[in-house]
Chains A and B, each alone.
Chain A
Amino acid sequence: MTDLTKLTLKGALDGLKARDFSSEEITRAFLSNIEAANPTLNAYVEVTADKALDMARASDARLAKGEGGALEGAPLGIKDLFCTDGVQTTAGSNMLKGFVPPYESTVTANLWRDGAVMLGKLNMDEFAMGSSNETSAFGPVVNPWKSKTSNADLTPGGSSGGSASAVAGELCLAATASDTGGSIRQPAAFTGTVGIKPTYGRASRFGMVAFASSLDQAGPITKTVEDAAIFLRSMCSFDPKDSTSLDVETPDWTQALGKGVKGLRIGIPSEYVVDGMPAEQMELWEQGKTWLREAGAEIVDISLPHTKYALPTYYIIAPAEASSNLARYDGMRFGHRAEGAKSLTDLYETSRAEGFGKEVQRRLTIGAYVLSAGFYDAYYVKALKVRRRIAQDFDAVWDRVDAILTPSTPSAAFALGDKQIDPVTMYLNDVFTVTANLAGLPGISVPAGVDSGGLPLGLQVIGKALDEATVFQVADALEQAAGFVAKPEKWW
Chain B
Amino acid sequence: MSDPVKTIDGRTGPWEIVLGLEVHAQVASKAKLFSGAAVGFGAGPNEQVSLVDAGFPGMLPVLNRFCVEQAVRTGLGLRAKINEKSQFDRKNYFYPDLPTGYQISQLYHPIVGEGVVEVERDDGSFFNVRIERLHLEQDAGKLIHDLSPSESYVDLNRAGTALMEIVSRPDMRSPDEAVAYLKKLRTILIYLGTCDGDMEKGNLRADVNVSVCRPGQYEKYRESGDFGHLGTRCEIKNVNSFRFISQAIGYEARRQIEILEDGGVIDQETRLYDPTAGETRSMRSKEEAHDYRYFPDPDLLPLEIERAWIEEIKASLPELPDDKRRRFMADYGLSQYDAGVLISEQAKADYFEAAAKGRDAKLVSNWVTNEVSARLTADGKDFSDNPLPAAHVAQLVELIETNVISSKIAKEVFDHVWNGEGSPAEVVEKHGLKQVTDTAAIEKAVDEIIAANPDKAAAVAEKPQAIGWFVGQVMKATGGKANPAAVNEILKAKLGL
Contacts and interface: CB of A to CB of B under 8 A. Distances in A.
Interface residues of A, number: 43
Contacts of A206: 58-60
B285 to A, nearest CB: 15
A82 B57 CA distance: 10
B300 interface: yes
Contact of B100 (A208, A323, A328): A328
Nearest to A216: B298
Nearest to B152: A344
Given A324-B90, A332-B154, A213 B291 contact: no
A372 B102 CA distance: 14
Interface in B52-70: 54-63
Interface in A163-219: 205-210, 212-214
B144 to A, nearest CB: 14
The main secondary structure of chain A at its interface with chain B is loop
Interface in A79-105: 82-83, 89, 91, 96, 99, 101-103, 105
B99 A324 contact: no
A83 B51 CA distance: 13
Contact of B291 (A205, A208, A372): A372
B488 interface: no
Contact of B295 (A83, A208, A376): A376
B58 A327 contact: no
B275 interface: no
Interface in B84-102: 90, 92, 94, 96, 99-102
In this complex, which of B63, B90, B100, B293 has the most chain A Cβ atoms within 10 angstroms of its Cβ?
B293
Contacts of A99: 57
B299 interface: yes
Interface stretch (A28-36, A236-244, A394-402, A462-470): A236-244
B265 interface: no
Contact of A209 (B51, B58, B63, B293): B58
Nearest to A349: B94
A471 to B, nearest CB: 24
Nearest to A335: B57
A421 to B, nearest CB: 30
B461 interface: no
B56 A101 contact: yes
A235 to B, nearest CB: 15
A80 B94 CA distance: 26
Contacts of A214: 298
Interface string A307-334: 0000000000000110110111010111
Contacts of B291: 372-373
Interface residues of B, number: 28
Nearest to A331: B96
A380 B57 contact: no
Interface in A321-366: 321, 323-324, 326-328, 330, 332-334, 344, 348
Given A213-B298, A344-B96, A334 B58 contact: no
B60 A327 contact: no
Contact of A371 (B61, B101, B293, B300): B293
Nearest to B92: A324
Interface string B99-122: 111100000000000000000000
A101 B59 CA distance: 11
In this complex, which of B58, B62, B294, B299 has the most chain A Cβ atoms within 10 angstroms of its Cβ?
B58
A295 interface: no
Contact of A210 (B58, B63, B295): B58
A61 interface: no
A460 to B, nearest CB: 25
Contacts of A103: 51, 56, 58
A243 B63 contact: yes
Contact of B55 (A207, A333, A368): A333
Interface string A236-255: 00001111100000000000
Nearest to B301: A243
A328 B58 contact: no
A244 B299 contact: yes
Contact of B102 (A83, A327, A333, A376): A327
A293 B389 CA distance: 89
A328 B102 CA distance: 8
The main secondary structure of chain B at its interface with chain A is loop
A101 B55 CA distance: 12
A207 B58 contact: yes
B156 to A, nearest CB: 9
Interface in B173-209: none
Contact of A327 (B51, B63, B100, B299): B100
A371 to B, nearest CB: 4
A83 B59 CA distance: 10
A458 B103 CA distance: 42
Contacts of A244: 298-301
Contacts of A371: 92, 293-295
A206 B56 CA distance: 11
B34 to A, nearest CB: 9
Nearest to A328: B55
Contacts of A324: 90, 92, 101-102, 293, 295
A204 to B, nearest CB: 9
Interface in A27-61: none
A243 B300 contact: yes
A327 B57 contact: no
A334 B293 CA distance: 24
Given A89-B57, A334-B56, A241 B92 contact: no
A213 B59 CA distance: 11
B59 to A, nearest CB: 8
Contacts of A330: 94, 96, 101
A327 B94 contact: yes
Given A324-B295, A330-B94, A332-B99, A105 B301 contact: no
A454 to B, nearest CB: 39
Nearest to B52: A241
Given A99-B57, A101-B58, A380 B295 contact: yes
Nearest to B94: A348
B99 A205 contact: no
A424 B99 CA distance: 33
A353 to B, nearest CB: 14
A371 B94 CA distance: 15
A328 B298 contact: no
B60 A332 contact: no
Contacts of A327: 92, 94, 100-102
Given A243-B61, A327-B102, 15 more contacts: A99-B57, A206-B59, A208-B58, A210-B57, A210-B299, A213-B298, A243-B300, A244-B298, A323-B293, A330-B96, A333-B55, A344-B96, A371-B92, A371-B295, A376-B295
Interface of B: 51, 54-63, 90, 92, 94, 96, 99-102, 154, 291, 293-295, 298-301
Which 3 pairs of residues, A with B, have the shortest CB-CB distance?
Answer: A327-B101, A213-B298, A371-B293
16 contacts: A82-B58, A83-B57, A105-B58, A207-B59, A241-B62, A243-B63, A243-B301, A324-B90, A324-B92, A327-B102, A328-B100, A328-B101, A332-B99, A332-B154, A376-B294, A376-B295
